[in-house]
A and B are shown apart, each in its own frame.
Chain A
Amino acid sequence: KNQVEQSPQSLIILEGKNCTLQCNYTVSPFSNLRWYKQDTGRGPVSLTIMTFSENTKSNGRYTATLDADTKQSSLHITASQLSDSASYICVVSGGRGYSSASKIIFGSGTRLSIRP
């Protein structure tokens, strides 16, 4: 069964600290993996997109890693800021392109809270 599991469910850290969010998946065949940030009351915003050949991709203070062999991804946030408080959603696409809506699998997200 195609699944995407994220951990932890929620996380609270102090401003300025680093943190790492995890995403494990069983989607096969694998096409790409995306990390989204969703602020409260808003739609998700894309942070990174990675294919199986990419190990690391950065977007400012956000760095995503992908291990296609172990089917794991992580999102590392450096020097956290209050504005990083949001839900972070891992999305894995299987197959080729948008061949099937059922092949776009969403994780349940990690709710991150940054405390001053």
Chain B
Amino acid sequence: DAGVIQSPRHEVTEMGQEVTLRCKPISGHDYLFWYRQTMMRGLELLIYFNNNVPIDDSGMPEDRFSAKMPNASFSTLKIQPSEPRDSAVYFCASSLGQGLAKNIQYFGAGTRLSVL
């Protein structure tokens, strides 16, 4: 398997524009996670899915952020409208299940978002 695949790797956009980040998890993984990483706040868990269903979105900063998982092999994180403070690296990760042995999360390479 190629691992968790994210696109684009880099995104530069202007304030107010809609941004869509994409993620393809490892085949067979039941859990998918979206994280945000900044210098100031480090890594933050935004939302996670289990079998395509959002389980906990308590980490989503505000209504401008939304995430979907229409099927087991694809998820999107959308920001509308984007703001400069949304500039960060966004990571997607997936894992097999809840058991400890399956608890390892595999991260994608991330999308570096810059909102001007």
Supplied contacts A42-B110, A44-B91, 19 more A-B pairs, CB within 8 Å: A32-B103, A34-B103, A43-B108, A43-B110, A46-B104, A46-B105, A46-B106, A49-B104, A89-B42, A97-B98, A98-B31, A98-B55, A98-B56, A98-B98, A100-B58, A101-B45, A101-B55, A106-B43, A106-B44
Do residues A49 and B31 form an inter-chain contact, with CB atoms below 8 A? no
Contact with A along B29-68 (1 / 0, CB 8 A): 0010000000000111111101000011111000000000
Chain B contact-residue range equals: 20 to 34
Chain B residues proximal to chain A, CB less than 8 Å: 4, 31, 42-48, 50, 55-59, 91, 93, 98, 100, 103-110
How many whole Å from B42's CB to the nearest CB in chain A?
Answer: 5
Decide yes or no whether A104 CB sits under 8 A from chain B.
yes
